[in-house]
Amino acid sequence: MTSTALLTDQYELTMVSAALAAGTADRRCVFEVFARRLPDGRRYGVVAGTGRLLDELENFRFGPAEIDALRGVVDEPTLEWLRSYRFGGEIDGYAEGELYFPGSPILTVRGGFAEAVVLETLALSILNHDSAVASAGARMVSAAAGRPIIEMGSRRTHERAAVAAARAAYLSGLTATSNLEAARTYGVPSAGTAAHAWTLAFTGPGGSDERAAFAAQVAKHGPETTLLVDTYDITTGVRNAIEVAGPGLNAVRIDSGDLGVLARQVRQQLDDLGATGTKIVVSGDLDEYAIASLRAEPVDLYGVGTSLVTGSGAPTAGMVYKLVEVDGLPVAKRSSHKESHGGAKRAVRAARDTGTVVEEILYRDGAAVPESAAGSLNLRELQIPLVRGGDRVDGVPTLTEARSHLARGLVTLPWEGLGLSHGDPAIGTRYVNQPEAS
Amino acid sequence: MTSTALLTDQYELTMVSAALAAGTADRRCVFEVFARRLPDGRRYGVVAGTGRLLDELENFRFGPAEIDALRGVVDEPTLEWLRSYRFGGEIDGYAEGELYFPGSPILTVRGGFAEAVVLETLALSILNHDSAVASAGARMVSAAAGRPIIEMGSRRTHERAAVAAARAAYLSGLTATSNLEAARTYGVPSAGTAAHAWTLAFTGPGGSDERAAFAAQVAKHGPETTLLVDTYDITTGVRNAIEVAGPGLNAVRIDSGDLGVLARQVRQQLDDLGATGTKIVVSGDLDEYAIASLRAEPVDLYGVGTSLVTGSGAPTAGMVYKLVEVDGLPVAKRSSHKESHGGAKRAVRAARDTGTVVEEILYRDGAAVPESAAGSLNLRELQIPLVRGGDRVDGVPTLTEARSHLARGLVTLPWEGLGLSHGDPAIGTRYVNQPEAS
């Protein structure tokens, strides 16, 4: 076990220290994680990271090495408290793979002030990162309209973030990842082709030798491999590929140039060579807009990297972790620009009989489930239990289940909600039965 | 030791597998890491991550668990090769904290094809992430014009990326981090204030009680603490802060609203209360532009988060790892849009006697050091040895040395190079004595 306890902002622990001294460490608190708004113009967000958070919560322990590192940061009574720290409260949350909108109470943490406040940094790091990637991925999957997408962005993000990004991408509906650690840790299907370096490495005194490179790759991996045809001239590359591998070659990859034009040319050339079953893989700075622009082209598979792992312009989901209730009293910050709704909330999403969702309704925890505006709509509770008495409950959705849940959720959006263009959230959020914060 | 070997794209290993079968695994290769361009409008980049890469290179080992995970991905001879893998080649590179420009050969890896190609993903992940953060950080430090900045972005990025981001931020000139793991692992000074939750937690049946919250914080941490004054009304917050802590209070923090206007008001109020030495800390979605806009305001310290850890609009540095030489022959991809310069390169930067840099000159490794265009300028070699025979050389700059190196480097830029506005790279890159690639 690698401790995750120091993946924490210093002020969480100095607050614990002051709370222990002041006698307020055990006040019963409710913290909520939510996003005040979606990234610019986005219609929905995708909750991701919940499973990872529950894993890392079990490793949130202050062992001897962590305690040593904190000497000088907090005092001895605080170190003593940290030494025996183990979250003992309750966590509810939106299921991983659930859609969210501004204000959605994605995670609700109940416990003593000190035991709950120290989880802020870790919870936000995981949810903000993973949700940013999954939210971008879902838009790419929509844009690909059924064609598979492989995630290959590991080299464009922090080496460990890459593993989480591959997981979030799979959750969002991508088909596979290039990242081997994500395959090992999370069982995400892995895939790969070859790099330009492969072909270039066959250069000898007589010059370049693309055919030798292709022949060596096919000799080892068979015609079910994918040959990268754009190291030199693409037309020659395609001809070499089929001559070497035969018309049964699985796929060729194009990584540069005008991908739409090249895909058409390469498709024609492949068909003329009798390689009618050979697929075309395209990659190279693709985002959801580029994917959508290739919808009419003969592309069989997309490879995406940079834009996916960096959230396609929104590299963090902007979620916050806010204290909303103390000893049963609703609380909220009151100064300018950051209005929050105090009090622990529950959430339902209203849908028509067709399944199309209409609005999200947030209501005070403990109050009766409200009626939807239209009266006869179907209401679905959005929060599920995740942790009880500090322990993960049975039945928290797996990664595969989260992936299916998202796929089902996306088809419930009003049609404009799946558009790539900038706009308002796909459904509105309504607050009912809200208390006045003290 | 946690193995870093699977933080790798699958195709690196399938290429190794095919190279072993084809007999090309040991061809002497040179790979270079460079950025084709700087992020949109940036004038310079900052090399960061080199030290982390050298650390992780030592953990790039395929142990029994990694080998087990790769069964089915590659064949038994490849597993055997991986089992005894240990990079045995040479690495040169720009010192950490060095400025870079388009084409700068930031890292040069020499070794057999297979042993060098497998390092691509890890090397790029680390350098792309850390350099993106450091490049953003350096602009913020310039904009702050001598005022200190604390990094507090951990919650806005992947939990492990946060640690590397704190390191890169410190390298770039920031003063401290909120991240406790970065303090432990890299010795970055840590700092922190308090959250709104601290004040809200003192709400009782009688309502909110900011004074009690401040009193408890000061009782524990003394007047050298920083009180967050914008949970409720800021003017009341400042009055409460000084009444509770006395005019010797170290600092107040403002986290919302129009920070410039508020800083002036709060400064006036603090001075009127006799708290002339109490500092003003501002935070809340600051980036380099917001920092610059506050230059004339009475701000003593900035806290930055989101924009720093996400590279302020450029979350990845866009570096690539390209094969440039095989058995002494220069190689380069020739198809459209991605022209590369083949052949291993060395780099010098030319400066006037005043120290101001004029251009960067890339020349073929092994050729004589070129003269600068202006003839009499001072030329500085940019690459230093990092790894020999697979082992880190002595004297690789420490984090502290890298931080100083960058600070010295920034003052050598032409004045327009430190501007925040979009523009061309601060100096040009010139290629001399370049070979024709095969």
Closest residue in chain B to residue A334, using alpha carbons only? B232
Q: Name which of A15, A219, A327 is nearest B194 (Cβ-Cβ).
A: A15
Q: Name which of A13, A125, A158 is nearest B129 (Cβ-Cβ).
A: A158
Q: Which residues of B touch A331 (CB under 8 A)?
A: 200-201, 203, 208
**CB B338 to CB A256 under 8 A?**
yes
Does A17 score more than 80 pLDDT? Answer: yes
Question: What distances in angstroms separate CA A329 from CA A364, A436, B68, B198, one per listed residue?
Answer: 12, 9, 53, 15
pLDDT tens track for A49-108: 999 999 999 999 999 999 999 999 999 999 999 999 999 999 999 999 999 999 999 999
Domain residue limits, chain A: 10-133+314-432, 140-313
DSSP code per residue over A338-380: -----S-EEEEEEE-TTS-EEEEEEEETTSPPPPPTTSS-EEE
Q: Name which of B22, B194, B195 is nearest A216 (Cβ-Cβ).
A: B22
Spatial neighbors of A348 by CB under 8 A, at least 6 apart, are: A360, A361, A363, A369, A370, A372, A379, A380, A381, A382
Spatial neighbors of B191 by CB under 8 A, at least 6 apart, are: A10, B150, B175, B176, B177, B178
For residue A434, the model assigns a pLDDT of 72
Mutate to test the interface with A, among B20, B157, B158 (most CBs of A within 10 A): B158
Reduced to 3 states, what is the DSSP secondary structure of residue A266? helix
CATH 3.20.140.10 fits B10-133+316-432, yes or no: yes
Q: Among residues B22, B97, B89, which one has the least CA distance to residue B60?
A: B89
Q: Which residues of A touch B306 (CB under 8 A)?
A: 316, 318
Q: State what percent of residues in chain A have pLDDT above 90.
A: 92
Question: Band of the pLDDT at B377, cuts 50, 70, 90?
Answer: confident
**B177 beta partners:** B151, B190
DSSP code per residue over A388-412: ETTEEPTTPPPHHHHHHHHHHHHTT
Does A136 score more than 70 pLDDT? Answer: yes
Q: Name which of A7, A10, A195 is nearest B15 (Cβ-Cβ).
A: A195
Q: Name which of A124, A157, A203 is nearest B331 (Cβ-Cβ).
A: A203
**CB A9 to CB B152 under 8 A?**
yes
Q: Among residues B42, B124, B101, B133, which one has the least CA distance to residue B319?
A: B124
Q: Which residues of A touch B154 (CB under 8 A)?
A: 7-9, 121, 125
Interface A-B, measured as beta-carbon pairs within 8 A, has a size of 347
pLDDT tens track for A296-341: 999 999 999 999 999 999 999 999 999 999 999 999 988 654 556 7
Closest residue in chain A to residue B342, using alpha carbons only? A200
* pTM > 0.80: yes
User: Distance from B197 to chain A by nearest Cα, in Å?
Assistant: 5
For residue A437, the model assigns a pLDDT of 65
Q: Name which of A125, A184, A203 is nearest B326 (Cβ-Cβ).
A: A203
Q: Which residues of B touch A195 (CB under 8 A)?
A: 11-12, 15, 117, 120
What average pLDDT does this structure show over B320-332? 96
Q: State what percent of residues in chain A have pLDDT above 70.
A: 97
For residue B248, the model assigns a pLDDT of 98
Does B435 score more than 80 pLDDT? Answer: no
Sign of CA dihedral B403, B408, B414, B416: positive
User: How far is Cα A191 from Cα A296, in angstroms, rounded to an integer?
Assistant: 25
How, if at all, do strands B357-364 and A45-46 pair?
unpaired
Lookup: tokens for A165: 């990004």
For residue A369, the model assigns a pLDDT of 84
Q: State what percent of residues in chain B have pLDDT above 70.
A: 97
User: Distance from B156 to chain A by nearest Cα, in Å?
Assistant: 6
User: How far is Cα A33 from Cα A11, in angstroms, rounded to an integer?
Assistant: 18
Which helix (H) or strand (E) segment holds residue A428: the answer is: strand A428-432
Does B336 score more than 80 pLDDT? Answer: no
For residue A339, the model assigns a pLDDT of 54
Question: Band of the pLDDT at A428, cuts 50, 70, 90?
Answer: very high
**CB A256 to CB B217 under 8 A?**
no
Under CATH, which number does the domain B135-313 receive? 3.20.20.70
Q: Name which of B129, B155, B326 is nearest A121 (Cβ-Cβ).
A: B155
How many other C-beta atoms can be found within 10 angstroms of the C-beta atom of residue A434? 15
User: How far is Cα B419 from Cα A87, in angstroms, rounded to an integer?
Assistant: 48
Question: Band of the pLDDT at A430, cuts 50, 70, 90?
Answer: very high
**CB A336 to CB B256 under 8 A?**
yes
Mean pLDDT score of chain A: 95
Lookup: tokens for A134: 């999954």
Question: Band of the pLDDT at A370, cuts 50, 70, 90?
Answer: confident
User: How far is Cα A294 from Cα A291, in angstroms, rounded to an integer?
Assistant: 5
Give residue B173's Cα distance to chain centre.
10
Residue that has been written with the tokens 């500085």 in this structure:
B380
User: How far is Cα B420 from Cα B242, in angstroms, rounded to an integer?
Assistant: 37
Does A192 score more than 60 pLDDT? Answer: yes
Longest dimension (CA), chain B: 81
User: Distance from A194 to chain B by nearest Cα, in Å?
Assistant: 5
Under CATH, which number does the domain A140-313 receive? 3.20.20.70
Does A435 score more than 60 pLDDT? Answer: yes
**CB A159 to CB B230 under 8 A?**
no
Q: What fold does the segment set A10-133+314-432 form as a domain?
A: nicotinate phosphoribosyltransferase (3.20.140)
pLDDT tens track for B181-211: 999 999 999 999 899 999 999 999 999 999 9
pLDDT tens track for B130-186: 999 999 999 999 999 999 999 999 999 999 999 999 999 999 999 999 999 999 999
Q: Which residues of B touch A327 (CB under 8 A)?
A: 204
Q: Which residues of B touch A207 (CB under 8 A)?
A: 438
Between residues A373 and A250, the one the model is more confident about: A250
Q: Which residues of A touch B14 (CB under 8 A)?
A: 192, 194, 220-221
Q: Which residues of A touch B117 (CB under 8 A)?
A: 195, 197
**CB B180 to CB A8 under 8 A?**
yes
Does B338 score more than 60 pLDDT? Answer: no
